[in-house]
Amino acid sequence: MKHAVTILLAVLLVFLQYRLWVGPGSLADVHRMHTRAETLRVEIEAAQAENAALSAEIASLKGEDADALEARARRQLGLVREGEEFFLVVNEG
């Protein structure tokens, strides 16, 4: 009887150790989840910063800010005012 209890306890110990190191909810799983959570946290912070920049740009465009509209038109559409000269510099190489 004493031998059977020892074997039972040994099997139980092996089972619990397996769950701790390899099974679902193991230390490896917890570490992997923490790493993934940190990665997602960084991605969320980057997305929030981009959203804030876009919101500021939208606010400036909605606010009838002529300078912001002109700067955007110059940058994206190549706007040139009357009387200005446009030079296109091409890098060869």
Task: Concatenate the DSSP letters of all residues of 33-67 into one string.
Answer: HHHHHHHHHHHHHHHHHHHHHHHHHHHHHHTT-HH
Q: 40 lies in which domain range?
A: 25-76
Determine, yes or no, domain membership for 5: no
Global pTM reads 0.53
Q: What is the pLDDT of residues 10-45, one digit of tens each?
A: 988 888 887 778 777 888 889 999 999 999 999 999
Domains contained in the chain, number: 1
* Most distant CA atoms of the chain, gap in Å: 105
Question: At CA 76, angle to CA 75 and CA 77, rounded to 5?
Answer: 105
| 5-19 tens-digit pLDDT | 899 999 888 888 877
44 in a structural domain: yes
Residue 13, domain member (yes or no): no
Using CA atoms, how far apart are residues 23 and 43, in angstroms rounded to an integer? 29
Q: Examine residue 45 and state whether it is found in any structural domain, yes or no.
A: yes
Q: Is residue 34 part of a domain?
A: yes
